[in-house]
Structure 1
């Protein structure tokens, strides 16, 4: 038996024992996860700094704070979520009990990405624990120091009979996916998502795929340009653009573009100073592949802000620098053994900053419009009207999130009602991610399934339909038994069919 198969078998035995089912056990494991976040906060800050030189403020906001919020929301509500949900019954079952029981799936695999290596691994873990599953976690090998920290420290806070961390590169992850899991949760690119879904299909394993895509941002002429520029610049360039919900491109009129460019330039200077390359508030990325890919995208359109490159220093734009392979890619790199205090030192060039670039005169068929940018570049395309913007959006794959900026409620409503996306946010970017009660997920190319808050609990729970009937009252069952008699049929229909309500739903 391979080590992975042995691990899965061991966790399945623990799950079958019923150990993870009691609410008290789930709460204890969640509390342990909370202690990990609190006691290892400094280690997390150091590991993310070593991997990406991510500013501590960004780590607090996008990694630690979101995990704590998700954890506390789950602890506050788990008792209510676990309760059986009783449902309406027909006449024949009025004396019986019919309800939905939330059962754990069993042994769950969670594959995390590198762009938010704590958040996007632990938030789904919270849901899987809350639902009563055993879990195998596979953090990204790209962020090596976070991987080591999670692999060596997190198991000390959880029950090692039921939770395990696997460190693996491409080949090891491929072999890991050959095992039968009861649920797979993957965050990464659509191309790798297809690989995961293909592996899951061999065992008919259900999956959640949190992918990405090109998130449109329509800017109406009637909006506060300065406020809009600040919010778009923050959302686009947070984490050096490596955010799956970042606005990927802007749609606006030619008149609005003329107003928007100086406002964006002012916002960038306000956030990162006159030389963003020297700003401590820009994160770093970790490899050459993404740099080369993003550098190639700069040939699209015309550079209005930034855009300079230096291949020797992996520098793009007014400080645009080194970037790495797409989040969640199954890239090389085997198991790691160093402790979290012995942080892997990246090559000197990988510590260089990234900074914003804005492109104009971008065409629909330009390379930058064919794939998710996942870097600090913001293209602007001009459209004549909101209807043209809607048509442009609807002609493409449905995005993970759609942004609209307008002071006119009718414009926001029009875009909301005539488009389709995983999520929708008006007059801001990314902030919908901070609400645990809002389900998060994509649609079509941008993903499959939902999580966050109760949605995480339900994602990792099997909705088990349950009917508990009494053993007696057999006379009531006699009309359905052979030999069939036609005169019994009206009685059976009355006892089992749901009747149409007479209330008009249009009023």
Structure 2
């Protein structure tokens, strides 16, 4: 896709500009706006997921040693469901939305018209390289946009397969994949887009936002953060433990933006919780979890070293109550539980994004809200309790992208809910109809006839006209009658 210089293929600002220009021409010609084009491209994307399932599973295994179960359930099946939902609801989503008008504009009608934004850029993440690449693309296509997808270079097998399959199945006059790393991403960010969707960390999120600001480009940022889990006593301990394990280690071995990052529980209950976690972890991953085929590996040596540094912190290393085993050659780290880690330690002040799970203890669970709110707003927050009052306090007092009570991560699968962050965990939301909305402009349209033209709005302005306008805008029928007939109070 780039030019060749000295045997090296270069993709720079010139190549990026050409792609934007070509896709812009396709969009301007109206190609992507039609119902037929949108439907055909969504069906092609569904074909990719259906006909190349094994290739996708193999690529995910190559990039992350992702178990086939997780690859299918958490990526392939969810992508299929997104495509099917969009295909089913597309006509309904595209239809103008009728809205009420006011007495001031009588007689009139109004509607909201959903208009595609134009040429959009999707920059994806490595941890769910198919779902996080293609789920936003589903929304962008459904909304009628031309799209450039930039997959993550940290998952090279998935990136290569995405480029190959989308090149074969999709309309390349309107949908392109650009592979590469920092240089290619930087070249793309120099261009003027109609929207940028980025999934990743807050550091890069700031870079994306700064680049977008130069052109006043709107952004959708799905970032992450430290997602807490509050665990009450008096709950079903086995179910609670299994659901925490599923959300933490059953989601890419903790390498997921909504995986539980740390637990808060009471000092009295912590020992029971730790014992249950140990028992259920052994059931799931055996006595030698480094050898388990049901756990993803750490994505690369940089991330493995980052996690090892968190474990080696002298303030933290003595707090390990389970796990801690590492294997550098295979980039493996066992599920690890740490108890009573200092709140000002490194592990408690950066997103872990891996198989380490600290537990901090409090006297009363209500203290948890202040602990959570003292940091940046997380992408997700979880509570396990049967206490109705505690549930209400949790929903009222904790600000996060999404909340789940008595489970973890499952809100991701509820297409009727928006998925996104708040504050440092992200800007905007998508999934289901919210994906369509994220890549659409809601255009306000008012219709009037030439009938009912009133002189009241035109000069010369009189006190009588002003009285009538005050009454009209106040919505008082009695006030309007008085103004018409010039009656005083």
TM-score scaled by length of structure 2: 0.92
Q: Which residue of 1 aligns with 2:227?
A: 215
Once the two structures are superposed, the pairs formed by residues 61-460 of structure 1 within 5 Å of their partners are: 61-238=73-250, 239-298=252-311, 299=313, 300-301=315-316, 302-309=319-326, 313-314=327-328, 349=329, 351-460=330-439
**Alignment partner, residue 52 of structure 1:** 64
Q: In the TM superposition, what whole-angstrom CA distance separates every residue of 1:4-62 from its partner, at most 9, and x where no partner exists?
A: 10100110111111111121221111001000111111110111111111111010011
Other-structure match for 1:319: none
User: Whole-Å Cα distance in 2 between the matches of residues 106 and 69 of structure 1?
Assistant: 25
Contact 1:121–1:137 under 8 Å retained in 2: yes
Aligned residue in 2 for 1:469: 448
TM-score (norm 1): 0.88
For 2:27 and 2:448, the matched residues in 1 are separated by 28
- Distance in 2, matches of 1:386 and 1:286, equals 35
Distance 2:413 2:79 in 1: 10
2: CA distance between counterparts of 1:422 and 1:105? Answer: 25
Structure 2 equivalent of residue 491 of structure 1: 468
> What's 1:323 paired with?
none
Moved over 6 A (4+): none
The CA deviation at 1:387 is 1.6
Q: Distance in 2 between matches of 1:94 and 1:72?
A: 41
Query: Secondary structure of 2:420's match?
Result: coil
The equivalent of 2:456 in structure 1 is 479
- Cα distance in structure 1, aligned partners of 2:109 and 2:26: 30
Alpha-carbon deviations, 1:169-203, whole Å to 9, x = none?
A: 10121111000000000000000000000000000
Within 1, Cα distance between the matches of 2:265 and 2:299? 33
Q: Secondary structure at the match of 2:230?
A: strand
For structure 2, the 5+ residue unaligned runs are 1-12, 478-489
Aligned partners of 2:460 and 2:105: how far apart in 1?
A: 22
TM-aligned CA deviation for residue 221 of structure 1: 1.3
Larger Rg: 2
Unaligned runs of 5+ in 1: 315-348, 501-507
Give secondary structure in 1 for the equivalent of 2:122: strand
1 or 2 for the larger relative contact order (CA 8 Å, sep ≥6)? 1
Tell me, in whole angstroms, the C-alpha distance in 2 between the residues paired with 1:278 and 1:89: 65
The Cα of 1:408 is off from its aligned counterpart by: 1.6
**CA RMSD, Structure 1 to Structure 2 (Å):** 1.5
Matches within 5 A, 1:17-56: 17-56=29-68
**Structure 1 range deviating more: 382-391 or 194-203:** 382-391
1:352, CA displacement in angstroms? 4.4
- Call closer, same or farther: CA 1:153–1:217 in 2, change over 3 Å: same
Note the alpha carbon deviations across 1:288-307, whole angstroms, 9 max, x for none.
Answer: 11111111111243100011
Q: Which residue of 2 aligns with 1:332?
A: none
